[in-house]
Amino acid sequence: MMDRPLMISQIIEYAAGSYPEQEIVSRTPEGGLHRYNYEDAAKRSRQLANALKSLGVQAGDRIATVAWNTYRHLELYYAVSGIGAICHTINPRLPVEQFGYIVNHAKDQYIFLDLTFVPLLEKLQGLFEGVKGYVVMTDRAHMPETSLPNVMCYEELVGEQSDEMAWPEFDEHTASSLCYTSGTTGNPKGVLYSHRSTLLHAFSVLTIPGMNLGEESAVLPVVPMFHVNAWGVPYFAPMVGAKIVFPGPKLDGESLAELINNEGVTEAWGVPTVWLGLLGHMRKTEQKFTSLKRVLIGGSAAPRAMMREFQEKYGVEGLQGWGMTEMSPIGTVSMIRPKDADLPLDRQFDIKAKQGRAVFGVEMKIVNDDGQALPRDGKSFGELLVRGPAIISGYYENPEASAKAFDSEGWFRTGDVSKIDPEGYMEIVDRTKDVIKSGGEWISSIDLENEAVGHPEIAEAAVIAVHHPKWDERPLLVVVREPDSQLDKQGVIDYLSQRVAKWWLPDDVVFVDELPHGATGKLQKAKLREQFKDYSLPEVGG
Amino acid sequence: MMDRPLMISQIIEYAAGSYPEQEIVSRTPEGGLHRYNYEDAAKRSRQLANALKSLGVQAGDRIATVAWNTYRHLELYYAVSGIGAICHTINPRLPVEQFGYIVNHAKDQYIFLDLTFVPLLEKLQGLFEGVKGYVVMTDRAHMPETSLPNVMCYEELVGEQSDEMAWPEFDEHTASSLCYTSGTTGNPKGVLYSHRSTLLHAFSVLTIPGMNLGEESAVLPVVPMFHVNAWGVPYFAPMVGAKIVFPGPKLDGESLAELINNEGVTEAWGVPTVWLGLLGHMRKTEQKFTSLKRVLIGGSAAPRAMMREFQEKYGVEGLQGWGMTEMSPIGTVSMIRPKDADLPLDRQFDIKAKQGRAVFGVEMKIVNDDGQALPRDGKSFGELLVRGPAIISGYYENPEASAKAFDSEGWFRTGDVSKIDPEGYMEIVDRTKDVIKSGGEWISSIDLENEAVGHPEIAEAAVIAVHHPKWDERPLLVVVREPDSQLDKQGVIDYLSQRVAKWWLPDDVVFVDELPHGATGKLQKAKLREQFKDYSLPEVGG
Ligand SMILES: Nc1ncnc2c1ncn2[C@@H]1O[C@H](COP(=O)(O)OP(=O)(O)OP(=O)(O)O)[C@@H](O)[C@H]1O
Ligand SMILES: Nc1ncnc2c1ncn2[C@@H]1O[C@H](COP(=O)(O)OP(=O)(O)OP(=O)(O)O)[C@@H](O)[C@H]1O
Ligand SMILES: [Mg+2]
Ligand SMILES: [Mg+2]
């Protein structure tokens, strides 16, 4: 067979050839909506590729982006990877030190940034060692006064260039993009994707039965393009001619609701936090969704209550996805199989509360502490290990982290503790670092949190282990109440008593104004443990 | 990223893990229906793999099959390729000399054959040079008396073996199966598929928007597994947990209709000839389809009348597919895009009469005689060239054929003459060898045939070029009438006059009892030209 490499540039050219008129709509940082189509996107990607070459960008160079989900970011995805350079997407919410660390660790040469981030980058640029210049992703009219050195205007850079470009072909294992993990459990670690892994991941997603994406789909990636390539949306949507709706900087409930209904969005992908905001807005304004069919909820556990609200109030199917930066990211998807479609809704939510079944291309096993495989009985749990062509073989220039991340057969250790049931549904019990070891038994901090947030007056909840002289570790529940709630400890315990085993009940409940979140919005339990390091349980300390 | 190869064995193991209970139903050569599921199929494939090893089969060895579409043939697909050997599927309808040529050319070591083909192989076995043994695909009770040397019984061979097997992993470019072209235009040429090309082809098919294959699909591959891997059905159906219904030896209308309705078939794939038979039977018995949604018609042009009958009488969508043995085989699919769904049916058939738009993974261009690319204007036509990871880079051990088959940039010459319209629909005008060159202009033999078979009294039609002193070549129409029809030349010409340009009208119409067909049921125009080599046109010769 022909030795044709899988190349990211093939995607945008295929879309331009097969679905030239299909729309890409973006809310822009300048304000307002921008519209164009796949033909335009391909042309502009070629122009941008020529511009990168004119800047001296070579194959293998790292080009950073600090940007929202917009058409310009899409162009960067295709142009940078297309010429064999590496598109390094940076999460702008990273703490300052991590931001500096990442840019220097990746040896980024140019940074492309949205208008929004000019002040941030002005503040940070002193930290960067090898950055040659900055490109503000806007037109001349919107270019700000800035102290950024060697600053350029995106539209000027691109506008001068020819839109002809014979994309180079090279080994499909060549690196195409770089993303660091969320830093939930420690310092972010770099993950380098290849052209091959990117295309195979897109194929995996598109072959999930029931996804049925096509020209009639309009996909809204709320998950940021700086977070694992927006879960692959920018790659798989063009392959099937789906419309893409980019939310730009506005991720609040009102803005999302407006975009979804105005643009006929059929599928929206994002983390639970954004859906909380969206549902809150819908509730308040008593709106309905007019086109939305499906919401993929991932990155953290999808609360049952959220899936139920989507389904029962709006007829929108909530799916759960589990994945990792290290996995490109999608590993499993939880959706109702045809045979289960007539189950009572409650049973359906039981199923969807699990993280889901492996997509084609991902193999999973759970192992005990000795590395021995555990049965898929829905009861045994242990660390989850995975294998597949879109899963890392090591972290980017990080031998220490890499050394710990694989078993002797080369399977990747996810750091998640889980069960797998006989139907193949994987269920996250906890992170290996967060599970509470109480008297030799394990308590899932996640399960406890999920039950707690089911209480109507609890806005957010976190469970961490605190030291206990007899049981070694016991759960402490930290709660953020809904505004105006007077809920107290006893009320929480009473509520939980009806829902969890007695020995799972938290030994104490503490109310706080907010919980620490990382750059992708996840609870940072390491920080929380730090905050509570001097805490001692009432009946022990008092 | 992990260097995980794409392996065919991953497909059957994924299906066994994710869709263990999904059914595979086969009509068997012994008679009756056989049912089992993906879990069984994977187990038996592992047993068969162990059996092959016990026979001494090594990686790279060619193992031939002469078999209908059944579960045992499926097991051979997975077991042979799974251990790194090459599954050579042979078309039992090949002329004797070609059959012998192919077995020796491929150096087949063992031949697995259905009961049906015992007499055939007994007759042919003297021709084979290196075949070590024969395995009759049946159980002991059905084993025939046979003169085949070193003959074994499939069920005995398999039944003894363990169903445990750690499939080996190796380079994904390794050859997995071998199929010879139909021999429509000359001697069949060998095409060697790889694990990589097989999986990428399956991905391409599954990502066609609107295919929507999944657990609720039941796919009937009427196209034989000895003809380009039944167009990939045995590979892509398990990936999405679709039910497979194998028709075994019974491809007549009555048997197919029964199977389709009894087994809830939703999609059926095959060449126009089988659909003629099926539609004929439905018409006669005034039945309806109770589950069938879609029919993929390919391998030869899908007649408009056929698509119309499926649609208007039965509400079944007829899709056209174009492909080649050399392309794994699917290149294009013609289906109605959502934007065109409200067009009048006639316009929709105009669209579906074209061969279709390229699937992701196939690039197309049309070129003139100098190899220069022609515009996609729906008018210009020239030879169609293709490129992609599931397209051959050369014929199997056939340097002469290989030398002619590629342009200087490595594109494969399809031997088809076609147009591409601005929407990307490719339309076959003719084969380069069959097009009629009349006074410097080209007449499409296929277009003429399609118009001719639109006549209710014409069962089949073929157009070939015959020599003309002035125009160089002129079309001769050879017709098979429907039973009892009295249609004459004038009737045919009158009918065509209203449908084609005057200078396209055949110079003569000849009635015959049957037309020569090749091993995949296609018209063999080379043979027909041979039959008519002494023919001279009436107004010229007469
Ligand atoms: N649907 C889900 N349910 C529960 N947990 C999930 C889900 N999806 C993702 N996760 C969690 O998110 C993790 C992957 O997140 P990501 O790659 O963004 O970085 P992180 O693991 O949060 O950060 P770091 O690896 O830097 O500590 C998974 O390992 C899992 O713990
Ligand atoms: N939908 C279709 N419409 C018209 N022609 C088709 C269609 N599908 C396939 N074909 C024809 O079939 C050819 C591929 O067939 P296949 O690979 O089975 O062998 P063949 O070309 O018939 O035989 P050989 O190459 O040995 O002469 C294509 O090149 C094309 O001419
Ligand atoms: Mg992690
Ligand atoms: Mg051919």
What is the model's pLDDT at position A462? Answer: 96
Q: How far apart are CA A55 and CA A110, in angstroms?
A: 9
pLDDT band at B430 (very low <50, low <70, confident <90, very high): very high
pLDDT digits 0-9 by tens, B215-227: 999 999 999 999 9
pLDDT band at A458 (very low <50, low <70, confident <90, very high): very high
Between strands B133-136 and B108-113, the pairing is: parallel
Report the pLDDT averaged over residues B499-513. 95
pLDDT band at B540 (very low <50, low <70, confident <90, very high): low
Catalytic-residue membership of A326: yes
Handedness of CA B228, B234, B235, B237 (dihedral sign): positive
What is the model's pLDDT at position A2? Answer: 95
Q: Please list, in sequence order, all residues whose beta carbon lies within 8 angstroms of the beta carbon of residue A212, skipping any fewer than 6 positions away.
A: B212
Answer yes or no: is pLDDT of B146 > 60: yes
pLDDT digits 0-9 by tens, B61-72: 999 999 999 999
Mean pLDDT estimate for chain A? 95
CA distances from A339 to A213, A333, A336, B213, B215 (A): 21, 16, 8, 15, 9
Largest CA distance in chain A: 74
Catalytic residue among A326, A383, A451, A460: A326
Q: Is B160 on the interface with A (CB under 8 A)?
A: no
Give the number of whichever ligand sits closest to the CA of residue B299.
2
Amino acid letter, B325: T
Q: Taking a contact as any Cβ pair under 8 Å apart, which residues of chain A between 308 and 347 contact chain B?
A: 328, 337-339
Contact between A23 and A89 under an 8 Å Cβ cutoff? The reply is no
What is the model's pLDDT at position A303? Answer: 87
pLDDT digits 0-9 by tens, B251-265: 999 999 999 999 999
Helices (H), A125-168: 154-159
Q: How far apart are the first and last CA of chain B?
A: 74
What is the model's pLDDT at position B541? Answer: 47
Q: How far apart are CA B184 and CA A432, in angstroms?
A: 62
Residue B412: phi and psi, rounded to 5, are: -85, 130
What is the model's pLDDT at position B519? Answer: 80
Domains located in chain A, CATH noted: 1-194 (3.40.50.12780), 251-433 (3.40.50.12780), 436-541 (3.30.300.30)
pLDDT band at B412 (very low <50, low <70, confident <90, very high): very high
What is the model's pLDDT at position A183? Answer: 85
State the helix-helix crossing angle for A489-497 and A445-453, rounded to 10 degrees. 110
Q: How far apart are CA B199 and CA A452, in angstroms?
A: 45
Q: Is B196 on the interface with A (CB under 8 A)?
A: yes
Catalytic-residue membership of A442: yes
Contact between A477 and A461 under an 8 Å Cβ cutoff? The reply is yes
Residue recorded with tokens 């699990």 = A354
Q: Is A393 on the interface with B (CB under 8 A)?
A: yes
Helices (H), B366-444: 399-404
Question: Which percentage of chain A shows pLDDT scores above 70?
Answer: 99
Q: Taking a contact as any Cβ pair under 8 Å apart, which residues of chain B between 46 and 105 contact chain A?
A: none
pLDDT digits 0-9 by tens, A358-399: 999 999 999 998 999 999 999 999 999 999 999 999 999 999
Q: For residues A523 and A258, which has the higher predicted lDDT (pLDDT)?
A: A258
Counting from 1 in the atom list of ligand 2, the atom nearest the Cα of B428 is: 4
What does the DSSP 8-state code read for residue B69?
B
Q: Is B392 on the interface with A (CB under 8 A)?
A: yes
Handedness of CA B298, B303, B305, B308 (dihedral sign): positive
Answer yes or no: is pLDDT of B152 > 80: yes
Q: How far apart are the first and last CA of chain A?
A: 74
Q: Is B290 on the interface with A (CB under 8 A)?
A: no
What is the model's pLDDT at position B376? Answer: 97
Catalytic residue among A216, A290, A437, A530: A437
pLDDT digits 0-9 by tens, B512-528: 999 998 887 888 999 99
What is the model's pLDDT at position B88? Answer: 98
Residue A88: phi and psi, rounded to 5, are: -100, 105
Contact between B302 and B320 under an 8 Å Cβ cutoff? The reply is yes
Q: Taking a contact as any Cβ pair under 8 Å apart, which residues of chain B between 197 and 216 contact chain A?
A: 197, 200, 203, 206-207, 209-210, 212-216
Residue B416: phi and psi, rounded to 5, are: -105, 140
Contact between A242 and A219 under an 8 Å Cβ cutoff? The reply is yes
CB contact under 8 A, B17 and A360: no
Q: Is B250 on the interface with A (CB under 8 A)?
A: no
Q: How far apart are CA A88 and CA A66, in angstroms?
A: 9
The C-alpha of B233 sits at a distance from chain A's nearest C-alpha, in angstroms, of 14
What is the model's pLDDT at position A257? Answer: 98
Contact between B178 and B106 under an 8 Å Cβ cutoff? The reply is yes
CB contact under 8 A, A391 and B209: no
Handedness of CA A255, A256, A259, A260 (dihedral sign): negative
Amino acid letter, A520: T
Report the pLDDT averaged over residues A190-215. 97
pLDDT band at B21 (very low <50, low <70, confident <90, very high): very high
- What tokens were used for B439? 């006074």
Of A4, A241, A424, the CB nearest to B17: A424
Residue A508: phi and psi, rounded to 5, are: -155, 155
Report the pLDDT averaged over residues B347-369. 96
Q: Is A397 on the interface with B (CB under 8 A)?
A: no
Counting from 1 in the atom list of ligand 1, the atom nearest the Cα of A327 is: 17
Answer yes or no: is pLDDT of A241 > 60: yes
Contact between A529 and A464 under an 8 Å Cβ cutoff? The reply is yes
Contact between A474 and A438 under an 8 Å Cβ cutoff? The reply is yes
Of A214, A393, A424, the CB nearest to B1: A393
With vertex at residue A480, the alpha carbon angle to CA A474 and CA A481, rounded to the nearest 5 degrees, is: 120
Q: How far apart are CA A198 and CA A175, in angstroms?
A: 10
State the helix-helix crossing angle for A304-314 and A345-352, rounded to 10 degrees. 140
How far, in whole angstroms, is CA A359 from its chain's centroid?
Answer: 17
How far, in whole angstroms, is CA A452 from its chain's centroid?
Answer: 24
Q: How far apart are CA A229 and CA A87, in angstroms?
A: 10
What does the DSSP 8-state code read for residue A329?
S
Contact between B78 and B9 under an 8 Å Cβ cutoff? The reply is yes
Whether B206 is in the pocket of ligand 2, judged by its Cβ within 6 Å, is no
In 3-state terms, what secondary structure has residue B441?
A: strand
CA B268 / ligand 2 centre spacing (Å)? 19
Report the pLDDT averaged over residues A346-351. 95
CB contact under 8 A, B360 and A14: yes
Give the number of whichever ligand sits closest to the CA of residue A229.
1
Contact between B78 and B8 under an 8 Å Cβ cutoff? The reply is yes
CA A185 / ligand 1 centre spacing (Å)? 9
Catalytic-residue membership of A437: yes
Q: How far apart are CA B110 and CA B136, in angstroms?
A: 11
User: Is residue B475 within a helix (H) or strand (E), and if so which, with residue range?
Assistant: strand B472-481
Mean pLDDT estimate for chain B? 95
Nearest protein Cα to ligand 2, atom 19: B182
pLDDT band at B182 (very low <50, low <70, confident <90, very high): confident
CA distances from B333 to A200, B315, B353 (A): 22, 19, 11
What is the model's pLDDT at position A182? Answer: 87
CA A183 / ligand 3 centre spacing (Å)? 7
Q: How far apart are CA A281 and CA A402, in angstroms?
A: 43
What is the model's pLDDT at position A542? Answer: 40
What is the model's pLDDT at position B536? Answer: 87
Question: Which residues on adjacent β-strands are paired with residue A175?
Answer: A194
Contact between A172 and A190 under an 8 Å Cβ cutoff? The reply is no
DSSP string, A74-106: HHHHHHHHHTT-EEEE--TTS-HHHHHHHHHHH
pLDDT digits 0-9 by tens, B249-305: 999 999 999 999 999 999 999 999 899 999 999 999 999 999 999 999 999 989 888
What is the model's pLDDT at position B542? Answer: 40
The C-alpha of B408 sits at a distance from chain A's nearest C-alpha, in angstroms, of 14
Nearest residue on chain B to A426, alpha-carbon basis = B18
- What tokens were used for B40? 């069984």
CB contact under 8 A, B194 and A339: no
Catalytic positions of B are 181, 326, 437, 442
Nearest residue on chain B to A392, alpha-carbon basis = B1
Answer yes or no: is pLDDT of B89 > 70: yes
The C-alpha of A41 sits at a distance from chain B's nearest C-alpha, in angstroms, of 18
Whether B416 is in the pocket of ligand 2, judged by its Cβ within 6 Å, is yes
Of A193, A212, A358, the CB nearest to B212: A212
Contact between B295 and B219 under an 8 Å Cβ cutoff? The reply is no
CA B412 / ligand 2 centre spacing (Å)? 14
Contact between B331 and B364 under an 8 Å Cβ cutoff? The reply is yes
Contact between A238 and A15 under an 8 Å Cβ cutoff? The reply is yes
Nearest residue on chain A to B174, alpha-carbon basis = A1
Q: How far apart are CA B348 and CA A193, in angstroms?
A: 42
DSSP string, B2-60: --PPP-HHHHHHHHHHH-TT-EEEEE-TTSSEEEEEHHHHHHHHHHHHHHHHHTT--TT
Please state, as a whole number, how many other Cβ atoms lie within 10 Å of the Cβ of residue B488. 12
Whether B355 is in the pocket of ligand 2, judged by its Cβ within 6 Å, is yes
CB contact under 8 A, B2 and A215: no
Pocket of ligand 1 (CB under 6 A): A 181-186, 188, 298-302, 320-325, 355, 414-416, 428, 431, 520, 522
What is the model's pLDDT at position A185? Answer: 83
pLDDT band at A184 (very low <50, low <70, confident <90, very high): confident
Amino acid letter, B140: R
Chain A / chain B CB contacts < 8 angstroms: 113
pLDDT digits 0-9 by tens, A323-342: 999 999 999 999 999 999 99
CB contact under 8 A, A4 and B388: yes
Helices (H), B378-488: 399-404, 445-453
